């Protein structure tokens, strides 16, 4: 049974020059006890989508669609009901704990606040619960007497995790929880989140730039570009054998462990994300795509089936991606099959194109990826607020094997 269902969710910001579409028609499901990763570049709409789930966006944001939490639409909840849901049924680990914590209140007061607000404990019980939570996240109980500025970045992030767990919610939204942490602390925080989620059986939505981290932490993975989901499916399969060129480029954004060539000649993605007020026609990714067909600039794009429990918004997953305008002048014939993306833009194959394969590899060749896990300020009644955007590069303990040829 689905704990969370998103149905055609869109978010638009009203600005002086017009409206800016930040999230466009996102539909996703999250089962109880499952972990969903959401990946994409800065500006792709990841954090906006995460904050929309509990209506934590500023007043100039307009959210449409349906956000069903345990079958109840968050967007139609009255304020009292919404306040009861926040922290108790669903909580948030904000990115940038330094900006999310109240600088003039002690740590123990901030962790205890949701317990007291929701009537989960008396003052004495809350103090004991705070001590337990701090121990769970690897901090001594006496740290509760500290102020946020007296803690390191990793310790503050652990405090945010303790706050998220305080009321035993069924869903935790982790919005880039390792932003601004060094790689060793990032690894510790990710290990802590993984163990706590498994121990408590909590569902999680995790936001990150790094597909490899999400593959190790989450059951399923959704990749966003220009406010839309362009690919989703089982996390290991999306990471190892992406069917959308953008997903493949994200997977190749970090050097391969033990491969000097990839370290000395890093692969990247040309161009910049599009201006949301002036989105390209057709496929939003086509100006940066090295396997785009002429028709990609105009044809409607949707999430097509791309394997078992997988979908991708790329014409190359179709049995016949080419339209007449994609054919060489005077050919008069439609190709029997799509291009084989593993052989480059000009390659041919009888079956669907496979973005995961490189030269010398079978189009559907397996790539070794380790098993993943089984999945301004904003005030939400506890004195905490959303942090600032920031890119993170996360140290992870899984080997990465990538094809030799990547999207440029």
Q: Report if residue 49 sits inside a domain.
A: yes
**CA torsion angle 261 265 270 275 (round to 10):** 100
Q: How far apart are the C-alpha atoms of 376 and 389, rounded to whole Å?
A: 10
Number of domains observed in the structure of the chain: 1
The yes-or-no verdict on residue 386 having pLDDT over 50 is no
Q: Edge-to-edge strand order for the sheet containing 18-31? A: 18-31, 2-15, 61-69, 72-73
Q: Report if residue 221 sits inside a domain.
A: yes
The pTM of this model reads 0.77
Q: Report if residue 88 sits inside a domain.
A: yes
Q: How far apart are the C-alpha atoms of 156 and 140, rounded to whole Å?
A: 13
Q: Report if residue 373 sits inside a domain.
A: no
For the chain, give the percent of residues with pLDDT over 90: 57
Contacts of 18 (CB under 8 A, 6+ apart): 277
What is the per-residue pLDDT across 78-113, written as a single tens digit (0 to 9) for each?
Answer: 999 999 999 999 999 998 888 889 999 999 999 999
Segment 258-266 long-range contacts (CB within 8 Å, at least 24 positions apart): 258/399, 262/402
Decide: helix, strand or coil at residue 169: coil
Q: Which domain holds residue 124?
A: 34-55+78-229
Residues in the chain: 408
What is the per-residue pLDDT across 20-46, written as a single tens digit (0 to 9) for each?
Answer: 999 999 999 999 999 999 999 988 999
Residue with tokens 């997988």: 310
Residues 202-207 have a mean pLDDT of: 95
Q: Report if residue 140 sits inside a domain.
A: yes
What's the pLDDT at 99?
86
Instruction: Tell how strand 35-39 and strand 220-225 pair up.
Output: parallel
Q: Report if residue 340 sits inside a domain.
A: no
What's the pLDDT at 324?
73
Local structure of residue 316 (DSSP, 8 states): G
The yes-or-no verdict on residue 398 having pLDDT over 90 is no
| Between 274 and 95, residue with greater pLDDT | 274
- CATH classification of the domain holding 139: 3.40.50.300
Average pLDDT value for the chain: 81
What is the per-residue pLDDT across 326-374, written as a single tens digit (0 to 9) for each?
Answer: 767 555 454 444 444 444 444 434 444 444 444 444 444 444 444 444 4
Residues 235-239 have a mean pLDDT of: 92
Q: Report if residue 10 sits inside a domain.
A: no
DSSP per residue, 270-288? -S-PPPTTSPPSSSTTGGG
Q: Tokens for 26?
A: 């996102």
Short-list 150, 219, 216, CA closest to 187:
216
**Lowest-confidence range among 54-58, 133-137, 189-193?**
189-193
Residue 284 near residue 295, CB atoms below 8 Å = no
Decide: helix, strand or coil at residue 124: helix
Q: Report if residue 362 sits inside a domain.
A: no
């Amino acid at each position: 049974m689905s704990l969370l269902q998103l149905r055609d969710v869109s978010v638009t910001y009203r600005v002086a020059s017009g409206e800016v579409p930040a999230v466009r028609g996102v539909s996703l499901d999250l089962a109880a006890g499952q972990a969903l990763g959401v990946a994409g570049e800065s500006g792709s709409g990841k954090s906006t989508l995460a904050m929309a789930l509990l209506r934590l966006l500023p007043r100039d944001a307009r959210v449409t669609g349906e956000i069903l939490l345990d079958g109840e639409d968050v967007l139609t909840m009255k304020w009292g009901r919404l306040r009861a849901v926040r922290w108790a049924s669903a909580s948030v680990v904000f990115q940038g704990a330094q900006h999310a914590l109240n600088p003039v209140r002690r740590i123990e007061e901030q962790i205890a606040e949701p317990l007291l607000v929701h009537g989960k404990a008396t003052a004495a019980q809350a103090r004991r619960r705070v001590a337990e939570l701090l121990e769970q996240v690897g901090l001594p109980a006496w740290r509760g007497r500290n102020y946020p500025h007296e803690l390191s970045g990793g310790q503050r992030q652990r405090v945010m995790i303790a706050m998220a767990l305080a009321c035993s919610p069924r869903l935790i939204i982790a919005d880039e929880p390792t932003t601004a942490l060094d790689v060793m602390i990032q690894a510790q925080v990710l290990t802590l989140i993984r163990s706590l989620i498994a121990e408590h059986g909590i569902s999680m939505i995790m936001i990150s730039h790094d597909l490899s981290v999400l593959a190790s932490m989450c059951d399923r993975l959704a990749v966003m570009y220009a406010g839309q989901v362009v690919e989703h499916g089982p996390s290991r399969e999306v990471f190892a054998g992406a069917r959308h060129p953008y997903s493949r480029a994200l997977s190749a954004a970090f050097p391969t462990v033990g491969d000097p060539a990839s370290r000395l000649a890093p692969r990247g993605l040309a161009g910049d994300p599009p201006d949301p007020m002036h989105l390209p026609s057709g496929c939003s990714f086509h100006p940066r795509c090295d396997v785009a067909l002429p028709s990609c600039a105009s044809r409607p794009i949707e999430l097509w089936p791309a394997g078992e429990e997988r979908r991708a918004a790329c014409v190359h997953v179709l049995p016949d991606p080419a339209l007449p305008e994609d054919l060489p002048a005077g050919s008069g014939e439609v190709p029997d099959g799509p291009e084989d993306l593993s052989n480059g833009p000009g390659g041919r194959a009888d079956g669907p194109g496979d973005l995961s394969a490189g030269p010398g590899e079978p189009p559907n060749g397996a790539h070794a990826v380790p098993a993943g896990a089984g999945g301004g300020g904003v005030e939400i009644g506890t004195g905490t607020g959303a942090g600032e955007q920031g890119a993170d590069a996360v140290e992870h303990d899984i080997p990465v094997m990538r094809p030799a040829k990547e999207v440029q």
